[in-house]
Chain A
Amino acid sequence: MTTRTMNMIQAINSAIDVSMDRDGQIVVLGEDVGFFGGVFKATEGLQAKYGKTRVFDTPITECGIIGVAVGMATYGLRPVPEIQFADYIYPALDQLVSEAARLRYRSAGEFTAPITVRTPFGGGIFGGQTHSQSPEGIFTHVAGLKTVIPSTPYDAKGLLIAAIEDNDPVIFFEPKRIYNGPFDGHHDRPVSPWSKYPESAVPEGYYRIELGQARTVREGNDVTILAYGTMVHVATGVIAATGIDAEIIDLRTLVPLDIEAIVTSVKKTGRCVVVHEATKTSGFGAELSALVQEHCFHSLEAPVERVTGWDTPYPHSLEWAYFPGPVRLTEALRRVMQD
């Protein structure tokens, strides 16, 4: 298949395009997604190509966007709603948690909600309180939802196609910090565009990356780093700089989780560091840490470390003290390796 160099936005756009072309039931809706093509340009050109009844702008009401998407899914369509920022998904929580997630269960399969909610998330962009949050832990806690987070253009397209084709509701978090290029946490250095990296070679046509499968970013023997989204690149940068022989696992799907990949790696390395941008307490890292403890207790040579955002709202000016960047990850690795 012909490949083209794409950044993550282009890969996401391509995933929707390819999916819409294959399946006439797919519709895209959200704030500014239609004529304008989205505030991040993820849906650019789609309305012109597929028409206004398949790609359309909505009123600014997140509970309405998701509620309407669930209703459209019930009719038989396959909606791909966008929530402009994950920080603004909360008005839709009732529709996601009480309705989309439970529809199949409560109706014993009579009705289902095969929707894919795309939403940009994560910090590192001076987004302050309401353009930086990482609320994935809220959704991984909800039975009936799948949660997917890509870290490269190649994965973004393959995972998004798989999410759209999935018959369960999927929350697809897009790390907006790495829309244009991977970010290793060194905010004082220029960021290279995706075109400089092999993961930007994206097939133009159809392919899937199955949900529930992690990717080993780097094989290593001394410690396992569990990461997703932007933090995959922070971890990669730290390992390149420190020379620690870490195995970096990009989880890609948080629910359902690739437990096998995690257990196999930690049993090999005996050490584990979990890293995410979201706040620490009750974050997804707590689940990962507990699973590693349950499954790998006898292989562990050190306590599982969590490198996360602090338990505060996301600050504006203090962003780089908040963001779990290279300094903090390096320290955590040093602690784990000392034990």
Chain B
Amino acid sequence: MVKRNLPPLTLHIPEPRFRPGDAVDFADFDMPVAGAVARPAIDTAPAAMRDMSYDMVRVLDDAGRAQGPWDPRLAPETLLRMLRHMALVRAYDERLYRAQRQGKTSFYMKCTGEEATSIAAAHALDYDDMCFPSYRQQGVLIAREWPLADMMNQVFSNKGDRLKGRQMPIMYSARGANFFSISGNLATQYPQAVGWAMASAARGDTRIAAAWCGEGSTAEGDFHSAMTFAAVYRAPVILNVINNQWAISSFAGFAGAEATTFAARAVGYGIAGLRVDGNDALAVYAATLWAADRARGNHGPTLIEHFTYRAEGHSTSDDPTKYRSAEERSKWPLGDPIARLKQHVIALGIWDEERHAAMDREVAELCKAAQRESEALGTLHDGLKQPFDSMFEDVFEEMPWHLREQSAQMHAERKAAGI
């Protein structure tokens, strides 16, 4: 080490504000005012929207009233359908989390607290818009009313699993719902979504693409590639960043949040950037619709940062009490997305506590019935459910000789071993 008459350098290692056992106080959280952010025209130049990347679009105020130019003015039935889908995905998560604890599946991931970021976004898209989700957008499938039992079949890797037990639970694929195959490799779906959107544009189609990743995944190189391609070719794509503050045990500071917002990443690429209250279903809906209209109008891509909070552990393999304060969830200043939409529809006079309680019972029953239907086809408990040969299928369109040979070898070995 060379010593000179200079102050020593220091290395900054980010540290979250609250660790296990710490009292949580968000009093200094600069709560953006609902309705305060202007709604620009859909063809606004990205450079003119710079400030929006540091602000936050919010529609619902503390009293649950819709405020300002981003109020999407949705019909009552749309609001209630969105509320129901959010309740349904939460109930679905609860059931499958329990199923994992019962050993019926090896793994599960909830999206608790983030329901609006997929449900409201999916409601604002057209059904034939192509979604490239990460592993926490089961809400897109729920919003597209994909059969719950089919989703559960995948989670249980049972006989009904269309993916033939090849994928870890929750790595759904549903072409019929325009829901792309989920990969365990983070952010890879981002450039793929851009490529899909480029193809749609190159073919003169009218469909757009939407991608989701977490704030942690924005650190991946694929995020940069996707942003560059999206900007260069003005791809009709919506790039959603779900900033839920945590990437497993790493707080958002390790993805760069101490220095800037994730929406502000858009500025440098020349992409429109919006930052929305991710627990405000109306704000998510409105921002997604704005971005979709922009994309459909050939005005290019939009990055939307959904500011939210991962209310539960990262997965069933994770214990968040080991790295963050348990108080964070209850004190999170932007509240709970379902509670806030519920408050809104009650304030509108189109909903009440009784109907809400009845809805909760009903969606729980739906999940229970779906689970019964799915478990009839087996769970991980009951052993292997897929034909052994299926392991060698779909590696290629046609099975080459070496896979046929290996398949035969597997059978011969099992036979010789008497199993």
Contact = CB atoms under 8 A, between A and B. Distances in A.
B57 interface: no
A77 interface: yes
Contact of B196 (A72, A110, A212, A259): A72
A106 B173 contact: yes
A286 B27 CA distance: 64
A240 interface: no
Nearest to A92: B225
B397 A53 contact: no
Contacts of B199: 27, 71-72, 75-77
Contact of A94 (B171, B185, B196): B185
Place the interface of chain A in its size category.
35 or more
Interface in B198-239: 198-200, 202-203, 209, 221-222, 224-226, 228-229, 232
A69 interface: yes
Interface in A114-153: 143-144, 146
A64 B202 contact: no
Contacts of A53: 202
B190 interface: yes
A121 B202 CA distance: 31
Given A67-B195, A256-B396, 9 more contacts: A61-B229, A63-B222, A67-B188, A104-B394, A104-B395, A106-B163, A107-B181, A111-B173, A255-B400
B188 A94 contact: yes
Given A71-B191, A71-B199, A91 B396 contact: no
Interface stretch (A95-103, A192-200, A223-231, A266-274): A95-103
Contacts of A76: 199
6 contacts: A67-B195, A73-B195, A79-B195, A107-B173, A144-B395, A146-B396
B229 A68 contact: yes
B188 to A, nearest CB: 5
Given A54-B202, A68-B229, A72-B199, A107 B192 contact: no
Given A71-B191, A94-B222, A104 B164 contact: no
Contacts of A259: 401-402
Which among A71, A76, A102 has the greatest number of chain B C-beta atoms within 10 A?
A71
Contacts of B221: 61, 63, 91
Nearest to A24: B203
A61 B400 contact: no
Contacts of A71: 132, 191-199, 209
A167 interface: yes
A31 to B, nearest CB: 13
A16 interface: no
Place the interface of chain B in its size category.
35 or more
A100 B202 CA distance: 21
A76 B203 CA distance: 10
Contacts of B396: 104, 144, 146, 168, 256
Which among B166, B203, B226, B396 has the greatest number of chain A C-beta atoms within 10 A?
B396
A74 interface: yes
A257 interface: yes
B188 A109 contact: no
Interface string A54-66: 1000110101100
B39 interface: no
A75 B394 contact: no
B167 interface: yes
B298 interface: no
A168 B397 contact: yes
Contact of A61 (B130, B188, B209, B224): B224
B185 A67 contact: no
Contact of A167 (B184, B229, B397): B397
Given A107-B163, A108-B164, A99 B226 contact: no
Nearest to A168: B396
B173 A108 contact: yes
A99 B192 contact: yes
A63 B225 contact: yes
Contacts of B249: none
Interface string A241-266: 00000000000000111010000000
A79 B354 CA distance: 55
A106 B161 CA distance: 12
B180 interface: yes
A95 B225 CA distance: 12
Contacts of B397: 104, 112, 166-168
A304 interface: no
Contacts of B325: none
B198 A72 contact: yes
A105 interface: yes
Contact of B194 (A68, A77, A143): A68
A70 interface: yes
A260 to B, nearest CB: 8
Interface string A158-173: 0000000011100000
Which among A27, A104, A108, A166 has the greatest number of chain B C-beta atoms within 10 A?
A108
A69 B194 CA distance: 9
Contacts of B195: 67-75, 79
A64 B228 contact: yes
